[in-house]
Amino acid sequence: MELGITGKNALVGGATKGLGKACALQLADTGVNIPICAKGAGSLNEAATEIRNKSKVKVLPIQSDLAKSEEVKSVVAQTLSTFGSIDILIVNSGGPSPGKFFELAEQDWRTLISPCCYMWLNYIAL
């Protein structure tokens, strides 16, 4: 199915595994350039290499913590400098620590929820 997004630019957060990586791979397969960001440099570079190997699009890995407003500003600036625009934004974050729902500590949930909320706010503020 042609979506009309070939050649567009999609900034994907939390793109090293799970839903974020799946979004990045699918968008790249559709011909969308992918600036990807995540906290871990190693897994970020691995994901970027995988995307490059499976598609012919431009990939820009950016190590960052998207819950921090200054880092979001930097990600947006690097993306605009490299690609000229952000046409699609996938705001995504990792999940809680592994474990059963009722066995997770309150701090595990705070660690999950806080970045998710602040990520949205940081992007909206720009």
In a domain, 5, yes or no: no
In a domain, 54, yes or no: yes
pLDDT for 48? 97
In a domain, 101, yes or no: yes
CA gyration radius, the chain: 15
pLDDT for 2? 78
* Number of domains, the chain: 1
In a domain, 28, yes or no: yes
In a domain, 1, yes or no: no
User: In CATH, what number is assigned to the domain containing residue 83?
Assistant: 3.40.50.720
pLDDT by residue (tens digit) across 48-71? 999 999 999 999 999 998 878 889
pLDDT by residue (tens digit) across 79-88? 999 999 999 9
Q: Helix, strand or coil for residue 2?
A: coil
For residue 121, the enclosing domain spans 10-125
Identity of the amino acid at 86: I
In a domain, 78, yes or no: yes
Burial class (CB in 10 A: 0-12, 13-18, 19+), 106: exposed
Q: Helix, strand or coil for residue 26?
A: helix
